[in-house]
Amino acid sequence: MSRFPMRPALFIQRGLTLVELMIAMTLGLIVVGGVLGILVANSETQRRTDELSRIQENARVAMQLMGRSMREAGGNPCGIPSGVGLILHMAGEAPTDDWWSGGNNFTSALIGYVSGNNFPPIDRAVSSDALITVSANTFVKTVISDNPPDGAMIIPTREGLAAGDILFACGTNDGRGVVFRAGAVAEAGDNGSVDRTNPFGGEFAGMNVTALGKINAEGWFVDNNGRGGTSLFRAFNGDNGNPEEIATDVSAMRITYLLPGENQYVTADQITNANWTRVIAAYIELDITSNTANPGNPDNPASLPITRTVGLTINLRNR
């Protein structure tokens, strides 16, 4: 007789059946699929959030820099209002045929171009509105003494100035300014000195210069960025034909302008050359598209780039 009793069949260990295994695998796949779906959705949400953040950052940078450039347009050391007969140039001394002369021989500190019109700084591949601003608030120097018409202008320091620079000279009693090319710039004892390339002539021959400022011109436009997308660029005098990329993924720019007494903004082609000095405000609109180099798949809406339009109204100074 056996010393160990037989165990009931109910307690005999056995494996899973094929049906039970398939059910378990199906439930596991459902759980894993749900988790993966959540991860993919979160990843897509994060990607779109990052794209929106980049759009907002690009818009902030572009609007901040363009707004500052436009508000400074016409600024100069003597606070002379920008206008015809107020910012003048000496013939043959300032390169008025260059784009950064304001497109109007320095008689206007702000001038715009509509989409499709020739814009001087560069042969653009993108058709969009553009803008030029000119100011003279860079490296401002108070003139300690001047001996017109051909004497050197004595300034506290020559820092930031060099021979050949395009400068703006003004006298508080004249209410006008002269744009000219600097001659020799040198040390003068504890101070500095700036020569005129040629003596000021005509009505400016006896003008006693009280302040100097370096001309700063900026051209704003949208163009290809060399990476398959488009960006907002800023050209400036002295960049040797190499504009600076300001904000990526800007696909279009529209600028309208307001004249005194009007209640509607108009496009640049509706403003005559004589009226650019009267513009008191501008409205900028930028279309910013995330990853302009990748058009996405139309069959997958989630892959399409995000486009946002941002706008800013700028009240101009120095009118």
pLDDT of 78 reads 85
Domain span including residue 161:
50-315
pTM score, two decimals? 0.80
Q: Is residue 223 part of a domain?
A: yes
Q: Mean pLDDT in each 10-residue stretch from start to end of the chain (319 residues)?
A: 55 66 81 76 68 82 92 86 67 70 74 77 72 90 90 92 91 77 91 90 83 92 88 87 89 94 94 88 91 61 76 87
Decide: helix, strand or coil at residue 211.
strand
pLDDT of 241 reads 76
pLDDT, one tens digit per residue, over 286-297 is 998 877 556 666
pLDDT of 281 reads 94
pLDDT of 52 reads 74
Q: Can you tell me the distance from the alpha carbon of 316 to that of 95, in angstroms, rounded to the nearest whole number?
A: 26
Q: Is residue 136 part of a domain?
A: yes
Q: Is residue 21 part of a domain?
A: no
Burial class (CB in 10 A: 0-12, 13-18, 19+), 36: exposed
Q: How many domains does the chain have?
A: 1
Length of the chain measured in residues = 319
Q: Is residue 6 part of a domain?
A: no
pLDDT of 7 reads 55
Question: Of 177, 172, 173, which Cα lies nearest the Cα of 82?
Answer: 177
pLDDT of 264 reads 95
Q: Is residue 68 part of a domain?
A: yes
Q: Is residue 240 part of a domain?
A: yes
**Which residues touch 213 (CB under 8 Å, ≥6 apart)?**
76, 77, 136, 137, 138, 139, 140, 141, 167, 168, 170
| Cα-based distances in Å from 204 to 82, 102, 178, 258 | 18, 22, 8, 34
Q: Which amino acid is at 23?
A: I
pLDDT of 267 reads 95
Q: Is residue 122 part of a domain?
A: yes
Q: Is residue 262 part of a domain?
A: yes
pLDDT of 151 reads 84
